[in-house]
Amino acid sequence: MKVLLVTPQFAPAPGGASVDFGIYAKYLAEMEDDVEDIVVLTGRWPGAPLIETLSDGRVKVYRILPHISGGHSRMGWIVREMMRVPISLAITFLVGAFKGSDIVHVHKTRSYGGAVVAGRLLGLPVVGDVRDLFDLDIFKYSTMFVVCAKAGLEKLKNDGIAEERMIYLPVPFEMEPDVDDSTYEEMRNGTLGKASYIIYVGDMSDAKGVPELLKGIEALRKKEKEWKDLHLVLCGRDVMDENLRGRLHRSDDTHYIEQCTHAQVMGLMKHAEVVILPSKWEIFGRTCIEGVILGRKVVFPGCVPEYREMGGPFVLSEITPSAISKALDDALRAGKGPDYPLERHDARKVCKDLLGVYNRLLDIKPKKGHRSKVKNHQ
């Protein structure tokens, strides 16, 4: 089987899509009896080669799609968005035809919706990879959907997607991730010094609860003397308004890092006292699980059903400064981090199940000794 993976981000670009599709490519490449060829079609990234070969030649990466970044104005954003869809359609069609792809697997992002149409025009099954709660739009034409969380399944059901077109496929994680301490060490030798710190990883936006987090940690420093020197490290995409940006620049105990590799982010998380994700709206939130894997204490967003069902002091009941302050205080005082079932997220298992999805769509029976059967999430 020849697989075409289409994703807005791929290493060295940061982001969840980059990590997830990097794992897909790596582990599918190990399945030599089932997967003949893997092509990754992704956006351009500064400093990264346009064409790259990985996994001993079994993975070809083409960074030739338009780079996804916001315009400087609303109109600029709209124009760019309108152009990306037909461009992604044309490029995916040409690459899929040239490489003789058997299946197209597309990360759901509106900008690359043309890849879904390209796959269908080529007569190929298209897997729509759902990792957000936005409307499907053009992705409704996918043959099958793999969905990483309960909230995503519920959203598709509400959108009228038949259950037989949905398969629960957990977010994949490597249980021994790559960790790079270089950024951490640089900060220790600079503004961070010897201070203990909390870390948040994600977009710098209101939807992620960043304003409430800043107020919450400020309240914690004032209320509890033992945390008065606690620092906050923020790492992620800059989508801040001027008010939020000004608050960050005026703070000596809050540090913002925009550009980091995933391994460098993991290095920062590894040394943090607590990892927190105070999102108001989230399908899953992979940084929480990365914190658990690294043995950190984690404060989870209560908007995610999987975390809400876990319960306990590590889950935010609401996104307010007072709730965040209390949750951080509880986590800092806790003897150990939360218990979360990591087994379902094992990268090799998830990718075997993904191969089962491909086999099902191509009507290929799993080979003897391979367990690729996929079950719908109950």
pLDDT, tens digit, for every residue of 341-364?
899 999 999 999 999 999 999 987
Region 50-54: what's the mean pLDDT? 97
Q: Which of 84-93, 266-275, 364-373 has the lowest mean pLDDT?
A: 364-373
Pairing of strands 59-65, 51-54: antiparallel
What's residue 373's pLDDT? 37
Place of tokens 């990306």: 84
pLDDT at 260: 86
Angle between helices 347-362 and 16-29 (to 10 degrees): 70
Q: Coil, strand, or helix at residue 233?
A: strand
| CATH number attached to the domain at 182-333 | 3.40.50.2000
Residue 51's CB is within 10 A of a number of other CB atoms, namely: 9
CA distance 186 to 206: 29
The DSSP result for 234-277, as a single string, is: EES-----HHHHHHHHT-SSEEEE----HHHHHHHHHT-SEEE-
Q: Answer yes or no: is pLDDT of 74 > 90.
A: no
Give residue for tokens 């990234």: 45
pLDDT, position 202: 92
Q: Which of 168-172, 253-257, 347-351 has the lowest mean pLDDT?
A: 253-257
Is the link from the previous residue into 12 a cis peptide, with omega within 30 of 0?
yes
pLDDT beyond 90 at 378: no
Q: Which of 278, 341, 273, 324 is nearest to 304 (CA)?
A: 278
DSSP-assigned letters across all residues of 84-103: HHHHHHHHHHHHHHHHT-SE
CA 226 to chain centroid: 34
CATH number given to 2-175+344-362: 3.40.50.2000
DSSP string, 39-84: EEEEE--TTS-SEEEEGGGTEEEEEEEPP----SSHHHHHHHHHHH
- pLDDT, position 77: 57
Q: Which two tokens stand for residue 347?
A: 């990268």
Tokens of 21: 């599709």
Average pLDDT over residues 182-187: 94
Of 122-126, 322-326, 362-366, the range with the lowest mean pLDDT is 362-366
Residue ranges, CATH 3.40.50.2000, the chain: 2-175+344-362, 182-333
β partners of residue 129:
107, 146
pLDDT band at 337 (very low <50, low <70, confident <90, very high): confident
Q: Has residue 102 got a pLDDT over 50? A: yes
Q: Which helix (H) or strand (E) holds 187?
A: helix 182-188
Amino acid in the structure at residue 370: H
pLDDT of residue 170: 95
pLDDT band, very low/low/confident/very high, at 69 (cuts 50, 70, 90): low
Residue 374 has pLDDT above 70, yes or no: no
Q: Residues 102, 1: contact at Cβ < 8 Å?
A: yes
Per-residue pLDDT at 250:
64
Lookup: tokens for 124 = 């190929």
Residue carrying the six token digits 């600079």:
190
Phi, psi of 135, deg, nearest 5 = -65, 150
The pLDDT, as a whole number, for residue 73 is 58
Question: Amino acid identity, residue 211?
Answer: P
